[in-house]
Amino acid sequence: MVALKGALRRDSRGQTFAIAFALGALALAGLAVFYNQPWVAAVVGTGTIGSVVGAFLYQRQAQKPKSK
């Protein structure tokens, strides 16, 4: 029971940090647009969104049962 609570707490902390990182990167992209740096904004914004989408797709693929 204690190990399960620890694992859930660790997963929750990881998700919190991932959301904070993604929001921070998107804020940085918005700041780059504000300072008229569209290439920086495009690279940071696309990389952030791509990473988040990739993580969700990887998680969904890992949860599918493998059939032979």
Which of 1-5, 19-23, 34-38 shows the lowest mean pLDDT across its residues?
1-5
Burial class of 37 by CB neighbour count within 10 A (0 to 12, 13 to 18, 19+): middle
Dist. CA 1–CA 8, nearest whole Å: 11
> Is 68 part of a structural domain of the chain?
no
- Average model confidence (pLDDT) for the chain? 86
Dist. CA 38–CA 11, nearest whole Å: 35
> Is 54 part of a structural domain of the chain?
yes
Number of domains in the chain: 1
Q: Which residues of 13-26 are buried (b: 16+ CB within 10 A; e: fewer)?
A: eeeeeeeeeeeebb
What range defines the domain where residue 56 resides?
2-63
pLDDT tens figures, 27-51 = 999 999 999 999 999 999 999 999 9
> Is 30 part of a structural domain of the chain?
yes
Q: Confirm whether pTM is higher than 0.85.
A: no
> Is 46 part of a structural domain of the chain?
yes
